[in-house]
């Protein structure tokens, strides 16, 4: 739009806002107390469209926020119009003001729950979780909040799937659960809870022929969480149980790698770090690993490397200590020999004096 057209739209938007304010300031009509709110909402809606045409997203978001407030005053409860206005305001505020967008999405989600629209509520809760991830890079509290939001979105997707018998909603529910489990394992170090979540989703998908192909990798992630968490006996039992539930997993390279890695990590005395590196290399040649798998393997690798380095550090310290002791013994022997030679020389000198 040209600058002249943008100025015209901006002028129109300001006019509609001024009219809306004057409508709200007037006395209400007794037989139609909500009429002024309906007229004000219409004016704010026109102002928002004009601001959008003029290229003013912040003011457009403000106008849509006013529309949502007017809708709440009109209905005294949740309405589809209020949800729509909250969503529009959130979409316009995402780039410049994520916190405000989260608040509007959360309000729209709550109203969708009141209306029984679980699918839309789940989508909005997922958006809130996505925005929460921007502030949770190095903050444990932020990651915990995101996990709670993802689990809430998964519950809403589950309710929508049961009501609508929609498989896509069930798939999104599983994705939310998996995303929450990945965060719990990698960022929050809650390996046991993450392993249980991966196992639950894998047990669910293995029962459907259309999704059974994903079960092997999910069983692998569950056992890997137990392995990284140091639950070696539990991991061995899980591998055998998973092999019975999914025969494909029982004959897969994933199972072989988990068994080898567990054996290397629980080797007598010193962890077999070299064999683990070879097993990881051989596994990566036949299976592709995503970023989460590689991050978890790096955690396991770092733990084994720390034990490996600590062992050799102890060996070096012990060798240095033995060397110092040997040096002290040698010096003590030399001192004793010198003392004996000195005594013998003194004795000989005395004998020479007598003679």
> Is there a domain that residue 101 lies in?
yes
What does each C-alpha distance from 255 to 75, 216, 249, 264, 303 come to in angstroms? Answer: 58, 9, 7, 14, 21
Average pLDDT for residues 61-89, to the nearest whole number?
82
Query: What is the spatial distance between Cα 245 and Cα 95, in angstroms, rounded to a whole number?
Result: 46
Residues whose CB is less than 8 angstroms from the CB of residue 87 and which lie 6 or more positions away in sequence, other chains included: 104, 105, 108, 124
Confidence of residue 194 (pLDDT cuts 50, 70, 90): very high
Classified as helix, coil or strand, 290 is coil
**Number of domains into which the chain is organized:** 1
Q: What is the mean pLDDT of residues 233-254?
A: 90
Please provide the average confidence, as pLDDT, over all residues in the chain: 84
Assigned domain for 23 exists: yes
pLDDT score, position 198: 93
Are 253 and 286 contacting, i.e. CB atoms less than 8 angstroms apart? yes
Assigned domain for 242 exists: no
Where does the pLDDT of residue 197 fall: very low under 50, low under 70, confident under 90, or very high at 90 and above?
very high
Residue 273 pLDDT more than 80?
no
- Flag whether 208 is in a domain: no
Which among 26-30, 65-69, 239-243, 306-310 has the top mean pLDDT?
239-243
Q: What is the CATH number of the domain that holds 84?
A: 1.25.40
pLDDT exceeds cutoff 80 at 147 = yes
β-sheet bridge partners, residue 32 = 29
Report if residue 18 sits inside a domain. Answer: yes
Helix runs in 76-139, H state only: 80-93, 98-115, 118-132
pTM score above 0.75? no
Residue 77 domain-assigned (yes or no): yes
Q: Residues of the chain with pLDDT > 70: what percent?
A: 94
60 found inside a domain:
yes
Expressed as residue numbers, the domain containing 99 is 1-115
What tens digit of pLDDT does each residue of 6-63 get?
A: 788 888 888 888 888 887 787 766 656 677 888 888 888 888 888 888 888 888 888 8
Determine whether 84 is exposed, middle or buried from the number of CB atoms within 10 Å of its CB (0-12, 13-18, 19+).
middle
Whether residue 76 has pLDDT greater than 80: no
pLDDT digits (tens, 9 = 90+) for 114-145: 888 888 888 888 888 888 766 655 567 778 88
Q: Which of the two residues, 33 and 291, has the higher pLDDT score? A: 291
Q: Is residue 172 part of a domain?
A: no
């Amino acid at each position: 739009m040209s600058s002249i057209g943008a100025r015209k739209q901006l002028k129109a938007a300001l006019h509609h806002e001024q009219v809306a304010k004057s409508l709200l300031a007037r006395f209400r009509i007794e037989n139609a107390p909500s009429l002024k709110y309906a007229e004000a909402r219409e004016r704010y809606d026109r102002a928002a469209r004009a601001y959008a045409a003029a290229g003013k997203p912040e003011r457009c978001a403000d106008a849509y926020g006013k529309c949502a407030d007017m809708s709440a005053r009109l209905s005294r409860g949740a309405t589809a119009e209020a949800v729509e206005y909250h969503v529009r305001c959130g979409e316009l505020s995402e780039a410049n003001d994520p916190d405000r967008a989260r608040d509007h999405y959360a309000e729209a989600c709550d109203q969708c729950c009141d209306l029984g629209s679980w699918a839309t509520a789940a989508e909005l809760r997922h958006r809130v979780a996505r925005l929460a991830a921007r502030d949770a890079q190095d903050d444990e509290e932020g990651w915990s909040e995101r996990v709670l939001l993802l689990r809430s979105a998964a519950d809403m997707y589950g309710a929508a799937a049961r009501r609508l018998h929609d498989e896509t909603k069930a798939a999104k529910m599983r994705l939310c659960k998996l995303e929450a489990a990945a965060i719990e394992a990698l960022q929050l170090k809650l390996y046991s809870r993450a392993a249980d979540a991966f196992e639950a989703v894998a047990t669910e998908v293995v029962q459907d022929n259309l999704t059974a192909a994903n079960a092997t990798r999910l069983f692998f992630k569950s056992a890997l969480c137990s392995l990284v968490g140091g639950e070696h006996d539990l991991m061995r039992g899980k591998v055998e149980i998973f092999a019975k539930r999914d025969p494909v997993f029982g004959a897969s390279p994933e199972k072989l790698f988990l068994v080898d890695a567990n054996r290397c990590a629980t080797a007598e005395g010193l962890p077999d770090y070299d064999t683990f590196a070879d097993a990881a290399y051989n596994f990566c040649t036949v299976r592709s690993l995503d970023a989460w798998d590689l991050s978890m393997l790096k955690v396991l690798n770092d733990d084994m490397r720390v034990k490996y380095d600590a062992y050799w550090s102890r060996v070096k310290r012990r060798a240095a200590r033995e060397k110092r002791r040997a040096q002290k013994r040698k010096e003590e022997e030399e001192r004793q020999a010198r003392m004996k030679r000195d005594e013998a020389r003194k004795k000989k000198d005395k004998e020479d004096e007598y003679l």
